[in-house]
Each structure stands twice: as C-alpha cells, then as structure tokens.
Amino acid sequence: MLGFAVRRLALALAVALAVSAASFVLLRLSGDVAAAIAGEGARAEDIAFVRKAYGLDRPLIVQYAEWLGNTLRGDLGTSLYFKTDVSALVADKLPVTLILGLSSVLFALAVSLPLGILAAIFPNTWIDRLCLALAVLGQALPNFFFALCLILLFSISLRWLPVSGTGTWLHFVMPTIALGYYVAPAFMRLIRAGMIETLAADYVRTARASGLSPASVVFKHALRNALIPVVALAAVQLGFLLGGSIVIETIFALDGLGYLAYQSITYKDFPTTQAVVLLLSVVYIFLTFTADIVNAWLDPRLRVA
Amino acid sequence: MSAILTVEGLEVDLSVPAGTLHAVRDVSFEVARGETLCIVGESGCGKSMTALALMGLLPRNARRRARRLVFDGIDLAAASRTQTNDLRGSRMSMIFQEPMTALNPAYTIGNQLCGVYRRHKGGSAAAARERAAFLLGKVGIAAAGERLGQYPHQLSGGLRQRVMIAMALMCDPALIVADEPTTALDVTIQAQILKLLKDLQDEFGMALVLITHDLGVVARVADSVAVMYAGAIVERGTAAQVFAAPRHPYTAGLIDCIPVPGRTKPGERLGAIPGTVPALVGNITGCAFRSRCAHAQARCEDAPPQHAEGGHEWACIRGAA
C-alpha cells in the first residue's frame, strides 16, 4: 500500500510538471505579454523596451525555467491588473472556492448516496422512479436558474439566508445547494447502477447465505464495491467545481478563484492566469491522486497497479 | 437416524415475461442427520432452485410453496425472515458453484470468515480468528494464520473453494447445501474437494445436500440420490439402488453417459439422451420425459404412476423389472 502510494505520488509530480510546462507555453502563444504589460495604445518601441526589460526576448525555455524556479519559491509574480502580489491574491481567493467545492461535493454525496442505494434496493418501483425524477430535475435545471429560485425562496420570501457575500457559513448554504444539486444526479445514477450490480454479485449472495444482517449485506458487502467508480467521479467533479463555479460565484458574489480566473483572462493578466491554471491543475492532480489512494483502500486488487 | 430435513410438495414458481415458470414441481425428499443426498439432473431441471428454496435465497421474482418444509424441527415454511436469517450460516449453510466470485474481493479471508462466526456466535474477535484458523487447517490450507490476512484474489480457485467450505463450517452446521461445488474447478482439484467434503462430514457429522449434474460425483459421495427432470423428482433411492438398477429411463440414460474404465472401449460412442429439456412455462401434462424416451407409449400422455420398492421410488409406466 505504501509502495503504491509512493509510485502514484511520483507520477502525480511528473504530471504536474508537464502541465505547468504546457500551460506556460500555451499562454505565451495566446498573446503578447509585453504588449499586455505596456498597456493599450503603447507604441512599438515601448513594447520592445518592455520586452527587453522583462526578459521576454529570451528563449521560452529559459523564461519557463525562471518562472518555475520562482514558483517553487512561492513567488508567482505581480498581477498586471490588480498590481498586487499574485500569491497573496490567489491565497485570498482560494479558501472561498475550496469551501464551496468541497461542501458542494459533500452535499451531492449526502443527497445521492441514500437515494442511489434506495433506488438500487427497490429497482423499478415507485421509490426508484421518485429518485430518478429528482435526478432528472437536477440535471435539467440550469444551475443559475435554480440558484435564482433559491434566492427568491430563502432570501426574499423567507428571509432566512443572506443573498450574497462570504461573511458567514450561512452565505455558503445556497451556493452549495445550487452547485451540489447540479452534480448530484451523476452520482446518484452511478451509485444506483453500481449497487444494482453488486447486490446481484455472488459474494453478496454468499453474505446473505451466511445469515448476515441486511444492513451488513448492503453497507459492508455491496456498497464498498459499488463506491469505487463513485470515488473517481467525485474527484473529477470536485475539480470541475473548483474551476467551473464561475456562474455560481458570480450570482452569489462569492469572490473566489473562478471569478478571479474570469477577470484575469478578460484583462490579459498573464501572471494571474498562469497562477490560477497552475493551481487548479495541481489541485486536480492532487484529487486524482487522492481518489487513487482511496480506491486502493477500497479495493485491494488495485494496490498492485 | 432421524431426519434433519423433510421436504414435502415443494414448489417454486418464477414469474417471467412469458408467464409463470414452474421451476420446481411437487418435490419431496428427506435427509437424515449425517447423510449425503445428491440431487442430479441436467441444467435447468430445477435443482439449483430447489437448493435456493431450502435456504430461503430465491430470487425476487420467485415464489416458494411447500406442504412441509421442516429443518431440524423448525418449520421453514412458517419461519419469519429473521428466523431464517438466524439459521443461515449457522445451522444450515451453503457452498456455491463459483469460488472465484463467491468471496468479497474487498475484504480479507479472515474478515469474511470471522464475520459469519461473530454474527451467529458473538464472542471476541480472537475467538473467531482462532476458529477460522482451525477450520482453514481442517480444509487443508497450510499457513492458515497467514492466509487469514490475504484477499480472495491472492488465492487460486481450489483454495477459494476450500475457504468457502471453511466458511460454511464456521458455526458447526447440521446441514450443508452444496450447489455444484466442484463444477468450476480442475478435475484433479474436483476430486480433492469431494474427498475433503466427505472427510469433513465424517469428522463433523453434518448432513450434505449436494446438487450436481455429474453422476461421477454422485457415485463417489452419495448415500442416496434424487434424480430431477423438468422440475420434478423422477427417481429416488439409495445410491446402490439407483446405480445398480435404475428404474426410470432418464436415470438409465444418464448412467449410460458415464464412461467406465474397462467397460467403455476406446473409440466407442458414449450414451446420449436425444432432444432437450421441455420448457417449464405453463403446465406439463403426462410424463415430461416422453418426447425423449425410447420406451414412450400412448399411456405416457397421462400422469406417470408412482412406484415404490424398498425405499426406491420412481415415476414411470414401467414397473419393477
């Protein structure tokens, strides 16, 4: 198990390095950094001066090496638009996005686990169909629309929850529900399908033949094996929620990483974009690594890979 | 010897899209304490359904009825789900055909063996572990302590089936139902597992209901034999009676299919029963075997008469020879 974890970690680091190089090169191809720094309406000689002053005329590989060195020391450069330290900027926004992403995935699992298990235990009954209806509703509603409905109900009519901001945990309730409910159907379907398969498995029949309690049959013997694909999906969904929650962050005025990414791209703020891309990909790689470890814990057959 | 299991008029109906499939039709038999009963028949003759019906493990679309279904003095037909669940794995246990998939891949052998013991006997984890190690030794697994910490995928099929047998023995059952326990194994392993089951039976004294399609297996282990065809028992008797003087043409046909060293000459064609098993959806009138039977007559259109002779019973127009 430990050897497996070490090998996976080495692989994760290699992938992170490759992603950082690829994103660095791609961003440089997407626009002229010197022109962005010089600002709108700059003359050609100004741009040329900037290019020289910032060392942007050096080969890409040298620039990458320098950037990588700085990044590893925690120096992500200075934002062209916000004129502040990018590290501080990102550190300021990251917690909001992390809290939102994690709470949304946890909410999605809290909804989809019981529903998926129930639907699998009673397939093709009204219980199954009710769970399916809830799932279809979640997938069909655009999440900005659902978010607005929540605001209308809980903030405007009932006045229970604040409309926007990040001051207290109450501020996160509606964004969490809006995002979580959107991703829950995928989990529910995967859990339902997995549970139907494992409940029909020979080892579950063995568990029943051994007189084990229904709870032990469902939770110990069937659920653990059904969760393996769910863990992988949870990692992907969490990554997606971290990078793709711009809409929800905007609606609820949550000043998170998604919104920062949107701003930095709009204003051609290269160092900030670069930092956000790097951070999100590292988070993504970390999540995949975690999913691998969790799955190896769930299924001993995976530990040799 | 008193009967550990009495089955009278067992019926299993499955609802399928085509209608109602009568998988088991009016099946009756008795198993004495410590006895080995082999239920023999082709695929789809209802023998596995009979086994599952005994254990109360039928699929959701199946319905079980019986005039009498008594195990160890307990009326299974009237027992609640909880009562049945308390018996399973404890007083009666089951061994399945597929050792490769019958153990949970996510848990160690020890975890799964101890789980059964602690469910029924309670007690400490150490006591369960000790029992598990003892039984792994009994089923011929070396280095039992080490094996307890291993996962099913680290074991061969033969070893896994030994583990399944140990699991069935964890709570010292009075009856083991084994559904084709050797079918998925190599021939050499088959013989070992059969011998193991017999040895364990001698040592622990449990009764064994062995479901098989292989008459070679029956010849090796059976005290008594029930031959099933199209959901019903067509012939029943001691192993000696059935093998020495098969009364039902179907039984005779099955026995002809076994090659006998010395008697079957090289290159000689083995016996075969023409045709296939009839569909079990709807009612069967008359003898179910008549379309494949060499001795079929007009009288076979009616329900076959039951014959009994010194504990040997069969259902055929042909009486004692």
* Rounded Cα gap, residues B215 and A253, in angstroms: 76
In a shared domain, residues B127 and B63:
no
How close A225 comes to chain B (CA, Å)? Answer: 7
Asked if A211 and B116 come within 8 Å (Cβ–Cβ), the reply is: yes
Quote the ipTM score: 0.87
In a shared domain, residues B80 and B12:
yes
Chain A residues within 8 angstroms (CB to CB) of chain B: 201-213, 216, 220-221, 224-225, 298-301
* Rounded Cα gap, residues B42 and B228, in angstroms: 8
Asked if A300 and B105 come within 8 Å (Cβ–Cβ), the reply is: yes
Two structure tokens written together for B85: 């669940």
By the 8 A CB rule, do A112 and A187 touch?
A: yes
* Residue B96 within any structural domain of the chain: no
pLDDT computed for residue A280 by the predictor: 86
Q: Domain residue spans in chain A? A: 91-267
pLDDT computed for residue A266 by the predictor: 85
In a shared domain, residues B223 and B138:
no
A23: left (phi over 0), alpha (psi -120 to 50) or beta: alpha
In a shared domain, residues B128 and B194:
no
Asked if B85 and A207 come within 8 Å (Cβ–Cβ), the reply is: no
CA-based angle B200:B203:B206, to the nearest 5? 70
* Rounded Cα gap, residues A237 and A242, in angstroms: 9
Phi, psi of B19 (to 5 degrees): 135, -145
Of B96, B101, B120, the CB nearest to A211: B120
Q: Return the H-helix or E-strand segment holding A158.
A: none
Asked if B103 and A206 come within 8 Å (Cβ–Cβ), the reply is: yes
Q: Which residues in A lie closer than 8 A to residue B85 (C-beta atoms)?
A: 211, 213
Q: Residue B167: which residues within 8 A CB-CB, separation 6 or more?
A: A206, A210, B93, B112, B113, B116
Strands (E), chain B: 3-16, 19-32, 36-40, 62-65, 68-71, 74-75, 92-95, 175-179, 207-212, 224-229, 232-238, 306-309, 312-315
DSSP string over B62-113:
EEEE-SEEEETTEETTT--HHHHHHHBTTTEEEE-S-TTTSS-TTS-HHHHH
How close B200 comes to chain A (CA, Å)? Answer: 19
* Rounded Cα gap, residues B181 and B164, in angstroms: 10
In a shared domain, residues B75 and B214:
yes
How close A116 comes to chain B (CA, Å)? Answer: 19
Q: How far is CA A148 from CA A151, A175, B25, in A?
A: 5, 10, 62
Name the closest residue on chain A to residue B87, using Cα atoms: A211
Residues in chain A with pLDDT < 50?
A: none
* Rounded Cα gap, residues B229 and B235, in angstroms: 9
CB atoms within 10 A of CB A261: 24
Please, what is the end-to-end C-alpha distance for chain A in angstroms? 10
In a shared domain, residues B181 and B310:
yes
Query: Domain A91-267 is classified in which CATH homologous superfamily?
Result: MetI-like (1.10.3720.10)
By the 8 A CB rule, do B186 and B100 touch?
A: no
End-of-domain residue from the set B141, B170, B199: B170
CB atoms within 10 A of CB B289: 26
| Interface mutation vs chain A, best among B76, B104, B118, B209, most A CBs within 10 Å | B104
Question: Which own/partner pairs from B67-70 qualify as long-range (CB within 8 Å, at least 24 positions apart)?
Answer: B67/B8, B67/B9, B68/B6, B68/B7, B68/B8, B68/B9, B69/B6, B69/B7, B69/B8, B69/B10, B70/B3, B70/B5, B70/B6
In a shared domain, residues B70 and B197:
yes
End-of-domain residue from the set B146, B170, B194: B170
* Residue B321 within any structural domain of the chain: no
Q: Domain residues for B150?
A: 102-170
Of B87, B151, B153, the CB nearest to A211: B87
Chain B residues within 8 angstroms (CB to CB) of chain A: 55, 57, 85-90, 93-94, 96, 98, 101-107, 115-116, 119-120, 151, 153, 164, 167
CB atoms within 10 A of CB B77: 15
* Residue B192 within any structural domain of the chain: yes
* Residue B162 within any structural domain of the chain: yes
- The enclosing domain of B270 has a CATH number of 3.40.50.300
In a shared domain, residues B158 and B278:
no
Of A211, A224, A301, the CB nearest to B86: A211
In a shared domain, residues B165 and B178:
no
For chain B, give the number of residues: 321
CB atoms within 10 A of CB A126: 8
In a shared domain, residues B149 and B205:
no
In a shared domain, residues B213 and B255:
yes
How close A295 comes to chain B (CA, Å)? Answer: 10
How close A100 comes to chain B (CA, Å)? Answer: 32
The count of domains in chain B is 2
Asked if A205 and B102 come within 8 Å (Cβ–Cβ), the reply is: yes
How close B110 comes to chain A (CA, Å)? Answer: 14
In a shared domain, residues B181 and B139:
no
* Residue B296 within any structural domain of the chain: yes
Residues in chain B with pLDDT < 50?
A: none
* Rounded Cα gap, residues A223 and B88, in angstroms: 22
